Amino acid sequence: MKILYSWLKDYIDIDLSAEELAQKLNSVGIEVAEIQKTGVDFEGVHTAKIVTLERHPNADKLSLVTLDTGNGTRKVVCGAGNLEAGIIVPLAREGARLGKTVLKAAEIRGVKSDGMICSSDELGLTATRQKGILHLDKNLKPGIDVSTLYPKADYLFELEITSNRPDLLSHLGVARELSILLNIPLKEIPLKEVKEEGESIDVKIETENCARYTSRVVRGVQNAQSPEWMKQRLSAMGVNPKNALVDISNYVLYDIGLPLHFFDLSDIGESVIIRQAAEGEVFETLDGSKLNLTAQDILIADKNKGLCLAGIMGGIGSGIKETTKNIFIEAAYFNPPAINKSAKKYGFSSEASQRFERGADIGITPKALARATNLVQELCGGKASKSSDVYPVPYTPEEVSFTPEDIEKILGMKIDEERFKEIFSRLAQKFDASLKPWKFNSPTHRRDLNHKWDLAEEAARFYGLDKLPVSETRASVAFSDNPRNTDTSAKFASALISAGFYECKNFDFLCENDLQNFSYKKEFCVEIANPLNEDYQYMRPTLFAGLLKNANFNQSRGTTEYKIFETGKEYQIMKGFPAETWVMAGIVCGAVREQYFADKTPEADFYFVKGAVEAALKNIAGVNFSASKEAPAYMHPKICADIIVDGKQKAGFIGKIHPLTAKAYGLKNDDIYAFYLNIKVLEKKFNAQEFKPAEDAAQFPSSYRDLSFVIGKDVGYAKVLQAVNSSGVWSKMSVDLMDVYTGANLPEGKKSLTLNFAFWLMDRTLKDAEVEENMNKIFTALTALGAELRK
C-alpha cells in the first residue's frame, strides 16, 4: 500500500520529517518498507537563456557563460560539456537553496561566478535525469521560478499491511492510526451537501453475499480530463490517469478505502439486481475475457444481462466512455470469502478486489457515495438523484465491558487511566468510561475488536510496545486460537500433561492418502482450491492423521514409546457447508511408566487411556463409558468405548487404533491406544458444572465393607456405579472395583463383581448399624439390575 505524505495531511495535521513519520508507523506495527522522495525541494532557481560562451581565461575545461535572466545578464563559470547558446537552463544564484544546501558566492580560478547552472541531479529531479546541465523547454521565458514547473516536494511511503487490517488500505485509515497514537484530532471527510434532484433507479439485493448497496444516478455529466492535482496523486499511487469519471472512482478508493464502480446509465435497464450468477452463465469483462460463471459468483445485473462481476471487474458494455452523459454510482459491501474465491478462480486481482476480499468498511458506503458525487459535480457537472441505501441487516457492534485493571493484568503493566481513555475514545465508535466497567463499541472499520484481549493489544500498540515490562519468567506458549474453548481445553490438557503426555501442534491440512487411510469420502471433506502442494490438499477431518505422523517421526529416530495429544479444529462438509469442530485427541504406545519393582514394564493399554481421560474429565458429572455400537473405521471394532454425557450425548471415545491404520503410517508397533474428546460438547457441561470448594479431610475414621455379587455379563460397570450412586446412601461414600470374575462355578451368562466401600462422616464415627443400613440400600438398588449375593 502506498501513502503520499501530502495526501495524509488532508486528514491529520502533522509536522514530522519522513524519517520521524516512518518511525511512528513502525511503532504501531505498520511496517514501512520504503520511503521515496518525489517532486522538487529547492528555492531561488530561475530560468535563464545562454547568450554567449567563452573559454575561461585560467582553465581549459571551464567556460565563462553569459546568461539572460530576464532582469539583466549574469556571468557564470561552468564546466559542463552540453552547453550551447540559445538554450534555456536553470540558474541558482547566491542565497538559493538546493535541498539542505544554501549557495554562497564563489570565485573559480580567479573569476567570480554569479551563480550556478544546475543539473537535474542537483535539483533532485531524478525522474527526468539528464547527463550534464538540465535543458529546459526552449519556449520558456527567462526569469520563471523553476520550482513551479514541477510537482512540489513530497514523500511516498510503501507500507506492508497485514491481511487482517484492511482498514489501513487508505490514507484515511493510516491517518486514524496516527490520530490515536499522537492524540491529534482526525479531520472529517471533506463532504458538501448534495442537492438531490429526481429519483435513482430501483435496486434489489437477491443474495446474502451483498450486505449493503448504496447508489445514486448523476445525470448530465460532461466527462473531462482530471485536474493536475488528482493526476499527480493517482500517478504517485501507480495509476495511469484516464478521464475524470474513471479517475474519481480510483481516487476515492485510495482516499477513504472503499472501492466504487461507475456504470454508464445508458447500458442499464430499469433496475439493478445483485444476485448469484446462474451456473454456466457467460459474462464478458471489460478486458474482453469471456467467463463461464458458477453459482458461487456474485453479479451486478439488470433484468436482461450481467453488468459487473461484483467487487472484481466490470462488464464489456457498461463501462464509462468519453461520451458518457449519465452515470450510476455503486458503493457496496460484499462478502469477503465470496469475492476471494471468484478473484482466485478467474485469476483477477485488483486494488478493489484486494480490499473487498479482506473486508471493506460496511459503514462508510454513504460517505463514499457522497464524496464521489461531490467530485463528479465539481469536475464534470451533472444533477444528482436521491441516494438509495439497501441495507437489510444493519451491523450492530458488539459491546465489550472491561476495566482498566483487566487491561493492566493482561499487559502486566500500569497505564495512566487518562491515556487509556484517550486511546479508546478515538478507537471506538462509542466509548463510555463514566462508570466501571467501561463500555466499548467497535467501529465498522474495526470489527475485529470484540474482546478485552483485543483492546489490550490496541492499548499496548498505542501506549508503546517498547514500554512493556521485561519479565524473567519463562513464557509458556498456548496453541489454542479459540478463546471460548481455551479454559476448557487447557484444564483437560493440564490433566493429560500430569499423566505424562506431551502436546503436539500440526498443520490443519492433509493429503488424499490420509483420507483413504481413515476411510473418509472426499465429498464430505473440505478441499483447498489452491493448495500449496499435494500434502495440503484438504482441511483435516481428523487429528489422528497428524498424530500418527508424529509417531512415525519419533519411530524413525529410535523412539517407539510416546504419549502425545493435540487440541485443534477438524473440518467436514455438513449439510452442504464446511463446518468446524473443536476437539482433542491423543495416542499412547509402549511403556507408560518406569518399571521400578514390577516384574515387567507397564505397557499402554485400554485402561491406561481410560484412566487418563477420567482424570481429565473428573470435574464433569454424568460422564460414563459404554461399549461402542459402531466404532470409527480407523478404530479396532472390539476395543472401543464411547464417552457418554448425561446418559445420552456422545462426547468422544477411547480405544485401540485399528492395526491396518497404524500400518498405513509405517508404525511397527500396532498396539496404539487412543482417545477423542469433543470439546464443544464437553464445554457446555463443563461450564454448567457447579464446582464445589475443597473440603477438609475427615477427622474421624472411615468404615469399610466389601460386597461380592453375581450379575449378568451384559450389565456394564457404568450401570452398576449409577445404581450405587443413586441408592440413597446418607453418609459420604467412595467405591472401588476390586475384582471381576467369570468362569467356573458361575451360572451361564453371569459374572461376579467385588466392590469395596468406604463410609464416613465429618463430625463423628459411623455406627455399625448405620453402615449396614447403607449397605442394604446399595444392595437393594443393585437387585433392580438382577444382582444376587455371591455364595
Q: Which tens digits make up the pLDDT trace of 709-742? A: 999 999 988 889 889 989 999 888 989 888 999 8
652 in the same domain as 515: yes
Task: Give the end of a domain, one of 467, 495, 510.
Answer: 467
Q: Which tens digits make up the pLDDT trace of 129-184? A: 678 899 998 899 999 999 888 877 788 999 999 988 999 999 999 999 999 999 99
Burial class from Cβ neighbours inside 10 Å (0-12, 13-18, 19+) for residue 80 reads middle
Q: Give 298-351 as a DSSP string.
A: EEEE-SSSEEEETTTEEBSSSS--TT---EEEEEEEE-HHHHHHHHHHHT---H
| Count of beta carbons in the 10 Å neighbourhood of residue 539 | 20
Over residues 744-750, the mean pLDDT reads 89
Q: How far apart are CA 203 and CA 244, in angstroms?
A: 26
242 in the same domain as 375: yes
Task: Check if the beta carbon of residue 413 is closer than 8 Å to that of residue 240.
Answer: no
Report yes or no on 478 lying in a domain: no
Least confident residue range of 2-6, 162-166, 490-494:
490-494
Q: How far apart are CA 43 and CA 32, in angstroms?
A: 29
- We report the CATH number of the domain holding residue 497 as 3.30.930.10
Q: How far apart are CA 291 and CA 511, in angstroms?
A: 30
| Structural domain containing residue 541 | 483-688
- We report the CATH number of the domain holding residue 736 as 3.30.70.380
Question: Hey, what amino acid is at 362?
Answer: I
Q: Where are the beta strands (DSSP E) in 494-634?
A: 502-503, 509-510, 538-539, 562-574, 577-589, 623-627
Task: Give the end of a domain, one of 467, 500, 521.
Answer: 467
Over residues 412-428, the mean pLDDT reads 89
- We report the CATH number of the domain holding residue 25 as 3.30.56.10
Cβ neighbours of residue 333 closer than 8 Å, sequence gap 6 or more: 210, 211, 212, 213, 360, 361, 362, 365
Q: How far apart are CA 128 and CA 150, in angstroms?
A: 11
pLDDT above 70 covers what percent of the chain? 95
Task: Check if the beta carbon of residue 265 is closer than 8 Å to that of residue 272.
Answer: no
Strands 562-574 and 502-503: parallel
pLDDT exceeds 70 at position 412:
yes
Task: Check if the beta carbon of residue 88 is closer than 8 Å to that of residue 48.
Answer: yes
Q: How far apart are the first and last CA of the chain?
A: 86
Task: Check if the beta carbon of residue 747 is closer than 8 Å to that of residue 735.
Answer: no
139 in the same domain as 208: no
Q: Grid coordinates representing 87? A: 538554450
Question: Hey, what amino acid is at 130?
Answer: Q
| Count of beta carbons in the 10 Å neighbourhood of residue 206 | 11
Report yes or no on 477 lying in a domain: no
* More reliable by pLDDT, 434 or 619: 434
Q: Give 20-40 as a DSSP string.
A: HHHHHHHHTT-EEEEEEEESB
**Grid cell 573569476 in the structure block, residue:** 111
Q: Grid coordinates representing 136? A: 529546459
| Count of beta carbons in the 10 Å neighbourhood of residue 584 | 25
Report yes or no on 498 lying in a domain: yes
100 in the same domain as 159: no
Task: Check if the beta carbon of residue 205 is closer than 8 Å to that of residue 386.
Answer: no
Total length of the chain: 791
Q: What is the reported pLDDT for 210?
A: 95
Task: Check if the beta carbon of residue 62 is closer than 8 Å to that of residue 56.
Answer: yes
Cβ neighbours of residue 607 closer than 8 Å, sequence gap 6 or more: none
167 in the same domain as 264: no
673 in the same domain as 551: yes
pLDDT band at residue 487 under the 50/70/90 scheme: low
Domain count, the chain: 6
Instruction: For residue 536, give the nearest of 566, 564, 580, 506 by alpha carbon.
Output: 506
pLDDT band at residue 591 under the 50/70/90 scheme: confident
512 in the same domain as 620: yes
Q: How far apart are CA 461 and CA 542, in angstroms?
A: 38
Q: Give the Cα-Cα-Cα angle 157, 337, 202 (nearest 5 degrees).
A: 95
Instruction: For residue 334, give the nearest of 167, 162, 207, 202 by alpha carbon.
Output: 207
Q: Cα separations (Å) of 253 from 187, 194, 234, 258, 360?
A: 18, 20, 11, 5, 11
Q: What is the reported pLDDT for 433?
A: 92
Residue 46 three-state SS: strand
Helical ranges in 544-678 per DSSP H: 544-555, 606-616, 659-664
Task: Check if the beta carbon of residue 549 is closer than 8 Å to that of residue 665.
Answer: yes
CA 451 to chain centre: 15
Report yes or no on 175 lying in a domain: yes
Burial class from Cβ neighbours inside 10 Å (0-12, 13-18, 19+) for residue 592 reads buried
Strands 623-627 and 703-712: unpaired
pLDDT band at residue 599 under the 50/70/90 scheme: low
- We report the CATH number of the domain holding residue 236 as 3.50.40.10
pTM of the model: 0.58
Q: What is the reported pLDDT for 475?
A: 46
Q: What is the reported pLDDT for 368?
A: 96
Give the torsion sign (CA, 156, 160, 161, 163).
positive
- The distance between the two most distant Cα atoms of the chain, rounded to a whole number of Å, is 136
pLDDT band at residue 484 under the 50/70/90 scheme: very low
Helix axes 679-688, 483-498, angle to 10 degrees: 90
DSSP state of 765: P
Q: Is position 458 annotated in a ligand binding site?
A: yes
Q: Grid coordinates representing 199? A: 429519483
Provide the β-strand partners of residue 645: 623, 649
Q: How far apart are CA 228 and CA 151, in angstroms?
A: 10
Least confident residue range of 399-413, 463-477, 651-665:
463-477
383 in the same domain as 413: no
Backbone φ and ψ of 470, nearest 5°: -85, 125
| Count of beta carbons in the 10 Å neighbourhood of residue 756 | 14
pLDDT exceeds 80 at position 46:
yes
Q: What is the reported pLDDT for 609?
A: 92
Q: Is position 357 annotated in a ligand binding site?
A: no
Report CA Rg, the chain.
39
Burial class from Cβ neighbours inside 10 Å (0-12, 13-18, 19+) for residue 742 reads exposed
Task: Check if the beta carbon of residue 349 is closer than 8 Å to that of residue 232.
Answer: no
Q: Which tens digits make up the pLDDT trace of 450-479? A: 899 999 999 999 988 888 777 654 444 444
Q: Grid coordinates representing 286? A: 471489460
512 in the same domain as 637: yes
120 in the same domain as 72: yes
* More reliable by pLDDT, 693 or 284: 284
Cβ neighbours of residue 620 closer than 8 Å, sequence gap 6 or more: 645, 682, 685, 686, 689
Q: Grid coordinates representing 770? A: 448405620
Q: What is the reported pLDDT for 40?
A: 79
Task: Give the end of a domain, one of 688, 714, 747.
Answer: 688
Report yes or no on 693 lying in a domain: no
Q: What is the reported pLDDT for 511?
A: 92
Report yes or no on 416 lying in a domain: yes
Q: How far apart are CA 554 and CA 273, in angstroms?
A: 58
347 in the same domain as 217: yes
Average pLDDT, the chain: 89
Q: How far apart are CA 291 and CA 278, in angstroms?
A: 12
Q: Is position 736 annotated in a ligand binding site?
A: no
Backbone φ and ψ of 580, nearest 5°: -110, 145
Over residues 761-772, the mean pLDDT reads 92
Q: What is the reported pLDDT for 616?
A: 86
Q: What is the reported pLDDT for 160?
A: 93
Q: Is position 670 annotated in a ligand binding site?
A: no
Report yes or no on 441 lying in a domain: yes
Strands 271-276 and 202-205: parallel
Report yes or no on 511 lying in a domain: yes
Residue 367 three-state SS: helix
Q: Cα separations (Å) of 354 from 72, 219, 348, 498?
A: 58, 30, 10, 47
Q: How far apart are CA 314 and CA 286, in angstroms?
A: 6
* More reliable by pLDDT, 54 or 487: 54
Over residues 335-353, the mean pLDDT reads 91
326 in the same domain as 291: yes
